[in-house]
Structure 1
Amino acid sequence: MDFTNPLVYGVPCFLGLILLELSYSKHHKEKKDLYNYKDLGASLTMGIGSAIIAPLTKTIAAIVLFNFIYNIFNPEINGIRTNIMGYQSFGYVWYVWLLCQLADDFSYYWFHRQNHNVRVLWAAHIVHHSSDNFNLGTAVRNGWFTVLYKPFFYMWMPAIGFPPEMVVVCLGIESLWQFQLHSVFIPKLGFLEKIFNTHTMHQVHHAQNFEYMDKNHGGFLNIFDKIFGTWKELDENIDIKYGVTHPPNSYNPLVILTHEYKDIWNDMKKSKNWYHKFMYAFAAPGWSHDGSTLTIKQQRKLLTKQVNA
C-alpha cells in the first residue's frame, strides 16, 4: 500500500503560517521583535536545504533501510507476512496506526534526547537551537546532517512488523506537530498539558536557562519525559532566554551548520589522550578532561552538593 508523506502538503502551510505569524507579530506591541529578518533568512535557508536533502535520505530510509529490515524480520510465509517471532505482521487497521504513532513518539523521544546527550549528534542538532528567537521560522531551522542518522532510531519499528510506509507517514505526522509547537502565542492548554507536549513545554525545551536545559524532548506526548525524568513545566515567572550557551554568532548558513564540529575538533586537540578525544566527541556537551567545563548533569550534581553542604 502506498501513502504520501504528509510533509508534501505541510511545507506550503509552513511558509504561509510563518508569514501570518510574522505579520501578526509586527502589529502586536509586545511581540514586535519576535522576528529578526537576518535570523529568519538563515532559518529559511536551513529549511530549504533540509527540504532538498531530506527526500533523498528518506527515500533511502524508506525504500532501502526500512524495507530491508522489514523483509528480513517479516518474511512471506504462504503469502502472508509473518514476523520471525511467529505472529502475523501488522496491517493497516486504525488501532495499528495509533500503535505505530505511539511507537514513533517513543523513538522520537530517544532520538531527540540523544541529540542533546551525545556531542557529535548535538553538533548536527544545535542548528535548530542556535537562534535566540522562538517562532515558526525557527521551526524550519533544521540541521542538514540529522537526517543521516535519524532512521537508525526507528529501525526497530519495521523489524517488529510495522509496514515501512506506515512508519514514514507517522514520521511525517510527527514533524507536522513539531512545527506548530514553535509559537509563543499559544498559552497553556489546561487538561491537554497533562498528556501532550505543548507550545509552552517546547518553549522550555528551547530555553538556555539553567533550570530548563535538556528538558522536554517529547514529540506528541509528554509521557516519556515524565517516565524518564526529563519533563519540566513552564514557570511563567521566569524570563526565558532562548538559544544556546555557545552560539555561532553568525547568520552565515555554513557557519551555523558547522560551528559545533569546529569546536569539537578544537577541544579534541586539548589532550593527546585518545580516550579524552573520544569523549570530547561522544560524551555529553560540556564534558572536559580537566573539569574546565561541565555537562548540565555535572553542573546539577555540583549544585545539589553545594545546597546540601
Structure 2
Amino acid sequence: MAFVLYAVPFFFLLIGLELLADRWRGMRTYRLADALNSLSAGVLSQATGVLTKVVGLLTYAFAWEHLALFELSEGNLWVWLFAFVFYDFCYYWNHRLGHERNVLWAAHAVHHQSEDYNLSTALRQTSTGFIFGWIFYLPMALVGVPPLVFFSVAALNLLYQFWVHTRHIPKLGWFEWLFITPSNHRVHHAQNPIYMDRNYGGVFILWDRIFGTFQEELDEEPVIFGVTVPLASWNPLWANLQVYAGLWRDAKRASSWWDRLRIWFMPTGWRPADVAARYPQAKADLRNFRKFEVPLGRGAQIYALLQFVCYLLAGVWLLAQGDTLAIGAVLLACLWVALGLCSIGMWLENRAWASRFELLRLAANLPLLWLAGDLDMLAMNAAVWSCLAGYSLISLLGLCLVRRVGRTGTPADRSEANSPPLAHET
C-alpha cells in the first residue's frame, strides 16, 4: 500500500498532463462528473482497504507459513522475477473469472462503469474485491513466494496498469505482442460485442494470446467504453453495490431455491428463466449510444470539485496513518469518507434532496470529531477542531451561495436525475 501512497502525486501529475494533451489535441476524454466518480471510487477503495487488506495479508501469510512446498529467499533476484511473472499469471485468471462469473463481476464491474477512458479510470477500483480475490494468489504462497515479495510485485503490477488507461497513446508495434498497452487495454474496456471479455492481462498480453482471449483494437471498430447495462449514477457507493443489488433482487424473484443459490456463481449475465421471462432486460443500442449526463451549473461543479479535493486529502491521510490508528478510528474515518463521497455523487446527479443531504453531512462533522476524541480514537487539539470547523463553515457558505445562484443553468435542468437501474450484465 506504501507504493500506492507514494505514487499518488505522480498519478495526479500525469492526469494534469493528460488534460493538457486533451486541450492541445482538441480531444475531450474527460468530463468532470465522470472523472470525480472514478476518483471517488478509488478513494473509497483505498479507505476501506485499510480495513479489508487484513483478509489478504492473513490468508497469504498463513498459507505461506504452513503450506509452502519450497523455501524461496527474498534475497534472490530470480525469485522476484519469477514472482512478478507468476503474479501476472494469477492476476489473469482472477481478472478473467471476474468477467465470467456473476458474483466476481459484481466486484469488478466498478472498474468498467466509466463511459470515458482516461487516467482517472485507472484509479476507479472496487471496494469489495477482497472477498474472493485472495483465493487466486494462494498458489504463490504454496510455491513459497515470501509475503514481502508477493505484496511488492502486486503493487508493481497495479502501478504498471495506470499508464495504459489513456486514448492518447497509439499502437506500439512489437511491444503490443508482449505487454499490455493502451491500445489492447482500450479493447478490454469496450462494450462493443467484438471486444467484450478480451485482453485480461495486467502486465503481459501473452496469457491472452496463449489462452485465446486476445483481441486487437480495430481501426474500423471505434471503441465504445462502459458496460452494456449502464450505472447511470455518480454515486461511488451505488457503483459498488449495483450489481450485487441486481443479483439479490433476481435471487428473491426466482421460484426455485436452486436458482436462488446458483445465480451468484453462474456465468455473468445468467438469470433464472422464470425471472428473465417476467422481468426482461433490454440491451443498449450502441448505434444510438449516449453517455450518462446530468446538467449542472458551473458553480455547483466547482463546489463538488473542491469538496472532492478535501476528501482526497483525507483519504491520503488515512492511507498514511491507517496502520497507527485504532480500529474504531479507522472505521469511523471510512464511514465519514463514504458519507462525503456519496454526498458529492448525489450533488453531481442534481438530486432534489442533495442540498439537504449536504447540510446534514456538514452538520455531522463536528459531532463525529467529538465522538472520535471522546472515545480516544484520535489525538484532539485546537488545530484539528479549528480546521474542521473552518472547513465546515466555508463549505456551508459555499453551499448557500451555490443554492442562491442556482445549481443548473436553466429551471428545466433542476429535475431529479433518473434513478439508476438494478442490473448485473456485462
Mark yes or no: TM-score above 0.5: yes
* Greater Cα shift, 145-154 or 155-164: 145-154
From 21, 36, 41, the equivalent of 1:41 is: 36
1:206-243 deviation per Cα after TM superposition (whole angstroms, max 9, x unaligned) = 00000110000011111111121111111121111100
Q: Would you say the 8 A contact 1:134–1:184 is kept in 2?
A: yes
Q: In the TM superposition, what is the alpha-carbon distance from 1:55 to its structure 2 partner?
A: 3.7
C-alpha distance in structure 1 between counterparts of 2:150 and 2:255, whole Å: 44
Does the 8 A contact of 1:7 with 1:173 survive in 2? no
Shift of 1:59: 4.4
1:20 maps to what in 2?
A: 17
Q: Cα deviation per residue 1:39-76 (whole Å; 9 max; x = unaligned)?
A: 111111111111222244334423x22221111024xx
Give the Å deviation of 1:121: 1.2
- Specify every segment of 5 or more residues in structure 2 that has no aligned partner in the other structure, as ranges: 282-426
Q: Please give the TM-score of this superposition, normalised by the length of structure 2.
A: 0.62
Aligned to 1:175: 158
Distance apart, 1:279 and its partner CA: 3.2
SS of residue matched to 1:27: helix
**Counterpart amino acid of residue 273 in structure 1:** S
Determine if the alignment matches structure 1 residue 145 to structure 2 residue 139.
no
Corresponding residue for residue 79 of structure 1? none
Is 1:94 aligned to 2:77, yes or no?
yes
1:144-168 deviation line (CA, Å, top 9, x unaligned): 1013322221112122111011000
1:258 aligns with 2:241: yes
Counterpart amino acid of 1:69?
Answer: A
Structure 1 residues 98 and 132, CA, compared in 2 at 3 Å: closer, same or farther? same
1:249 aligns with 2:232: yes
Paired with 2:106 and 2:71, the residues of 1 have a C-alpha distance of 41
- Secondary structure of 1:272's aligned partner: coil
Shift of 1:256: 1.4
Query: Aligned with 1:70: secondary structure?
Result: helix
Letter matched to residue 59 of structure 2: L
Question: Quick check: 1:72 aligned with 2:55?
Answer: no
Instruction: Find the aligned partners of 1:13 and 1:69 in 2 and give their Cα distance.
Output: 34
The separation in 1 between residues aligned to 2:32 and 2:20, in whole angstroms, is: 12
Partners of 2:187 and 2:198 within 8 A in 1: yes
Q: Deviations over 1:94-152 (max 9, x none)?
A: 11111000110011001101110111111111111001001001111111101332222
2-structure distance, mates of 1:245, 1:135: 19
**Counterpart amino acid of residue 164 in structure 1:** P
Q: Distance in 1 between the 2:108 and 2:49 partners?
A: 15
What does 1:197-236 align with in structure 2 at a 5 Å threshold? 197-236=180-219
Contact 2:103 2:244 in 1 (8 A): yes
Q: Which amino acid aligns with 2:232?
A: N
Corresponding residue for 2:90? 107
AA matched with 2:123:
V
Q: Percent identity?
A: 35
TM-score normalised to structure 1 length: 0.84
Shift of 1:203: 0.3
Does the 8 A contact of 1:271 with 1:277 survive in 2? yes
Distance in 2 (alpha carbons) for counterparts of 1:263 and 1:88: 45
Q: How does 1:108-127 map to 2 (within 5 A)?
A: 108-127=91-110
| Secondary structure class of the residue paired with 2:250 | helix
Q: Distance in 2 between matches of 1:26 and 1:9?
A: 28
8 Å CA contact 2:55, 2:134 repeated in 1: no
Q: Equivalent residue of 2:151, what SS?
A: helix
Give unmatched runs, 5+ long, in structure 1.
75-82, 295-309
Distance 1:205 1:150 in 2: 19
One-letter identity of the residue aligned with 1:37: L
Q: Which runs of 4+ in 1 moved over 6 A?
A: none
How far the C-alpha of 1:278 sits from its partner, in A, is 2.6
In structure 2, how many angstroms separate the alpha carbons of the residues matched to 1:185 and 1:279? 42
Q: Secondary structure at the match of 1:12?
A: helix
Letter in structure 2 aligned against 1:16: L
SS of structure 2 residue aligned to 1:227? helix
Q: 1:42 to 1:88 in 2, by over 3 A?
A: closer
- In 1: Cα distance, 2:105 partner to 2:2 partner: 26
Do the aligned partners of 1:279 and 1:287 also contact (CA within 8 Å) in 2? no
The count of residues paired between Structure 1 and Structure 2 equals 277
Could you give the per-residue CA deviations for residues 244-288 of structure 1, whole angstroms, max 9, x where no partner exists?
Answer: 001110112222121111211222233211222233221122213
Could you tell me how far 1:89 is from its partner in structure 2?
Answer: 3.1
**SS of aligned partner of 1:269:** helix
User: Does the 8 Å contact 1:212/1:232 carry over to 2?
Assistant: yes
Residue in 2 that maps onto 1:80: none
Out of 150, 155, 164, the residue aligned to residue 147 of structure 2 is: 164
Alignment partners' CA distance in 2, 1:231 and 1:92 = 35
The 1:23/1:59 distance shift into structure 2, 3 A limit, reads: farther
Larger Rg: 2
Deviates further, 282-291 or 44-53: 282-291
Helix, strand or coil: the match of 2:161? helix
